[in-house]
Structure 1
Amino acid sequence: MNAPAPHPMIPEPSHDEMAEQLFVRDLKLFVMGDLEPVQRKMAMQVADAVDVRATNDPVGNLRTEMMDRSSFRQWLGLRRESQRLLWDVVGDSLDRRADELADRAAIAQPKGSVRTNPDFRAPGYLVDGDVHLMPGGYEADPGEGSVAQGALMDRGGAIYMLGRNGGYLNDFRGQTAMAHVLTCYPDLNPQKIVELGCGVGSSTAPAAICFPEAEIYGVDVGASMLRYAHARAERLGVAVHFSQQNAESTDFPDGSFDLVYTCAVLHETSQSAVINILRESRRLLRPGGVAVHLEVPLLMTIGSLWDELSAELEADYNNEPYWRGALTADYEALMRAAGFDDVRTGYQRASMGAARHANLHFGPESEGVFRSWFVASGRA
């Protein structure tokens, strides 16, 4: 978090504000890095002592047993409140720099574009709860051309990921998605690319860097977030055309793109939405085009009681209601049902920089969190 300088759209915090943000980062590292292993060890001892595996609901029974222990409840409270504190300290810093943010977002001669829709309504699975506890969620828009929600997501997201996803650029997922294209579909030379669920564009810019001759698009639900994404891309020197749409059903014509991709989107949508997004990505592809859906590397690793309990805790304490379902989905079957051929599922080694300079590797085994990402891909 200390080494890379913030990119041009993030205002520099004061000394005290940076100290606050680094404190929250370190608190989260303590909660998950030091305290969680202790709770895991205790849970496994409890599971053996009361033989929860002999019941019809071992995970539920283990959770009930653990909730009787004060240290477990305190750990859960710290886990949730450290996340709330993250957004508080970042939001306070950005509020004091509202005018500076507005000035940076003013682009005189943009290379790309941003298209918002005042009548747009985000899907219920995003509106019903603030994902990651981020106040207002992805769709919040203070109005009047504001980029505040995007700035909150961008800087807060870098801290939330503890700097391990590319520091303030937060772009390793996008670079890894492009590395997957180079690894598994080296013949593809996409001329038109779209990222569905692009957020603030941190995973969109890598597509423009990897394929500089291509026309790049990004789709998401929040107007403020997309205005920020547009300004962010412009300040980074890449041309992207952003639009406020539902990834389940966009207004692009059939066969518009050579490459369609998502980065850590599917686990934040409902089960029906996953099916719709996969179908939409297939509809948008030209013959021979490729869809790449990158997800968290925990997918398909459910097996231990603690892993399954952790999935429930993520849903309840970080507003990720579809987390557990995402971990157990059969993405190969879902991709084939959506009409894809040449389907591949596995783990792409994380690209820690530009995809074209990455150590390319795709295989059946995860190399660990932040060292690889799960990918499901296929051809139209």
Structure 2
Amino acid sequence: MIRNSSFICFVGALCLSFGLLSYPVSQAVAQTTVAITGEKFYINGRPTYPERTWKGHSIEGLLMNSRMVQGIFDDLNPETVNRWKYPDTGAWDPDRNTREFVANMAEWKAHGLLSFTLNLQGGSPEGYSRNQPWHNSAFTASGELRPAYLQRLKKILDEAERLEMVPILGLFYFGQDHRLADEAAVIRAVDNILNWLHMQAYKHVLIEVNNECNVRYTHEILQPDRVHELILRVKANEKNGFRYLVSTSYGGGFIPLPNVVKAADFLLIHGNGVSDPDQIVEMVRKTKSVEGYRDMPIVFNEDDHFDFDKDWNNFIAAVSAGASWGFFDFRMEGEGFEQGYQSVPVDWSTGSDRKRDFFALLREITGY
């Protein structure tokens, strides 16, 4: 879709002058699109990894991904922001974080990574944390959008569009969803971010309403019994005949519930805590047996198991079952800055052995 950029700039300036917009209007030409046909993902009208097979397993239509949720991270709590100092400068810098994220995206893509999960409320910057005193949210308490977060988000989504990558954009994260005052604010936040995405004319973004809906969420509408209401709300937000494909995820080893399976466009499951690769295969089988299931993609977009040098690991098990797989790497106790994609500050390069092993297997499987 080619747009008249001069007209858009005029309208955007007019709206800004009257306070109708608090974020920039895109001038880019929308190029990259994502679609789903049956169990396969399509980018720009072609199945992903077209005609690719690996050790007898079809790779076509899968969406290999990595958990990169901290791409727009910041900490608005002055009492905790000093936790995230860079080792070389001794200060936290959210713009540096996004800039270095963008600088490494082409390398990820060169190894066959077509997708990554990004979250508007991040994830635990310590890997796993029950208490989360930091304040990382692209939403205000009333559900409005924070312009600084949008500016960083736009840089990542624009580069993903250029590289023909498909971000999975998560909206909420447990431990931060309480930053929104009430259910009305949650709904307002959903509407606001979708309207912003539509305004940018992005068509290469998938939506994950929230990360692990069955974990500690404050608002009932983000919990398992009601989260499908937000999935349906995302689906109903259509502009010019286009809507965003949407789902939500569950904690490690949990099988999606029928209300989500019936409502979602694709299914997100997690392999955390699943140390036996055979159980990864079983998770896919059980997911396909849930009431409401029809041909649709199944995607692991979080799994903290590695063993990439072994002939049978969680990554390979997922592929053998026809599911996409996502790498979840965090900095473990005693490890250096180069480790982990979730721990802040983040080294977004492929500079650790664990990252290199993942990308090497990814390249082998995808044929990139």
Please give the TM-score of this superposition, normalised by the length of structure 1.
Answer: 0.29
More helix by share: 1
Which has the greater radius of gyration?
1
